[in-house]
Amino acid sequence: MSIKILPQVESIAEEIISIRRDIHQHPELGFEVHRTAEIVANKLNELGMDVQTGIGKTGVVGNLRCGAGPTIALRADMDALPIQETGDCEYKSVNDGVMHACGHDGHTAMLLGAAKVQSQNSEKTKNKKKQAHSLRAPDLRAPDLRATDLRATDLRGKVR
């Protein structure tokens, strides 16, 4: 079976751009990506995914289960950098001394777009593939990161 996704991606392009610009305008550092994590968790919940939050403090994992088969994992960081944005675009950072100069805003928005397209096609791939989408920004050095958190991020259920 062939699924043509380009028309679906094109139909949500403006939504992806809007999400990216919103995240760009409200950058957050490291373990303080609370607003971004909430946006991601809400979007994944709207898509019907099983969502886990608080992974490595502010990480988010969304699982879309389509039956038995291989797992596909997509991952993006969500944090920004401690840099002053000097540009003058309409979605310029509103947080002094913090900006998305690293592309994480774009990566997060693109993965939310991929999650949306996959969820729209989940019935077509039922029992063919087991899909999982992970958007997170945990630091493995986090003082509160436990072995259970690592198991929660292993999308095949195996402890590594």
Task: Evaluate if pTM is beyond 0.85.
Answer: no
- pLDDT for the residue 125: 61
CA neighbor of 15 nearest in space, from 38, 37, 39, 34? 39
Q: What is the pLDDT along the chain (160 residues), one digit of tens a residue?
A: 567 888 899 999 999 999 999 999 999 998 899 999 999 999 999 999 989 999 888 989 988 877 776 777 788 899 999 999 998 999 999 999 999 999 999 999 999 999 999 888 877 666 554 444 444 444 444 444 443 333 333 333 433 3
CA neighbor of 87 nearest in space, from 106, 77, 100, 104? 100
Residue 159 falls inside a structural domain: no
Residue 158 falls inside a structural domain: no
Residue 115 falls inside a structural domain: yes
CATH number at residue 65: 3.40.630.10
- pLDDT for the residue 13: 94
